[in-house]
Amino acid sequence: MSAPIQPLTTLTEDETLLRQSVREFSENRVRPLVREMDEHAKMDPRLITDLFGLGIMGVEIPEAHGGSGGTFFHSVLVVEELSRVDPSVSVLVDVQNTLVINAILRWGSEAIKARLLPRLAENTIGAYALSEAGSGSDAFALQTRARETGGGYVLNGRKLWITNGNEADVFIVFATVNPDAGYRGITAFIVERGTPGFTVGKKEDKLGIRASSTCELIFEDCKVTPADVLGDVGKGYKVAIETLNEGRIGIGAQMLGLAQGALDHTLKYTKERKQFGKAIADYQGVQFQLARAATDVETARLLVYNAARLRDAGKPFLTEAAMCKLVASEAAERTASLAVNLFGGYGFVKDYPVEKLYRDAKIGQIYEGTSNLQLQTIAKNILA
């Protein structure tokens, strides 16, 4: 008889310890800053220092390069736990780990790894610059150009909606070296803050995840060297596609944590709030809504964890990544909306945490591929 299959939510001892460590950090260090960071739309720099100190800004970076030497699943747990308290903080960590570091680990030359990974593990934030005004869902309709010169490339163009734009010192920038080649002309470059011709532009004033910076990047005759190419020239589309598949699991984890946080607040409040002489949690109508929300959250967790486990096992996970992001983002919006409803008037004011979680939830169905794109991906694969 074969051994019984363990539930996907079962964690190993080291995973459990990591979760507990990040949960304690989130409660003790992040929660006291959430309101202020949201109001000022700015990440507290002291908190960023603490994130590095905790070792969660370089989860998968090998220990030889100063990182934690963890797994992708470890990154997912970190993002989930941070998002229970503040999705703005979790997305900063998520982009660092699931996009920037993953891309460098997979596609970077040994020289790029040696140059950047120790910094990314210790004190340097990264950003991933793909989106433009005319290339959101149509990710490869890039207008940013990389003109080849004798000593390298000259970048010209603008990027929009770049997470971590204000805080980052290392940027993975996608530009096309040959517009006539379509997506096969796209190349990924490493561009560092301070490079002549590169500036960080306007910071967006957003509905949610306000402490997370979302900025425009401007390239005006920005010179980079051949050593700054990430992967091969003309293969940037592969860097983007394969990295974004992993990034979707990260966003799934972010939305899962948000949904769990909203549910936690709601369960506690419904036991305390009394109407007509008893706690509203005692009413069957409320109980049924809470039961559906809990089921939504657990469904999202199973999908997110499954996709992350598949990725770590080296198995195909494209469909599962799309499914987990789709379901988790919808669960987050529904659960946060229910939280506002059950908090009553208090749910609509900033003195209580669910108002912010409701605003934060909306982006989950937009970035790293809209819900319609996830549905398209799922349909394409199940019908293949």
User: Which two structure tokens, joined as six digits, stand for 237?
Assistant: 């589309």
Q: What are 323's two structure tokens? A: 């499914």
- Please name the helix (run of DSSP H) or strand (run of DSSP E) that holds residue 224, with its range, or none: strand 214-224
Name 342's Cβ contacts closer than 8 Å, sequence gap at least 6: 266, 269, 270, 273, 280, 286, 289
- Within 13 Å and on the Cβ side, how many CA atoms surround 373? 18
Cβ contacts of 20 within 8 Å, gap of 6 or more: none
Q: Could you give the residue ranges of the DSSP H alpha helices within the chain?
A: 13-25, 34-40, 45-54, 72-85, 87-94, 102-107, 110-122, 236-272, 284-312, 318-343, 354-361, 371-382
**Residue at 331: amino acid letter:** A
d(CA 245, CA 234): 19
Establish whether 368 is a catalytic residue.
Answer: yes
* Residue of 60, 167, 246, 368 marked active site: 368
The set of catalytic residues is 368
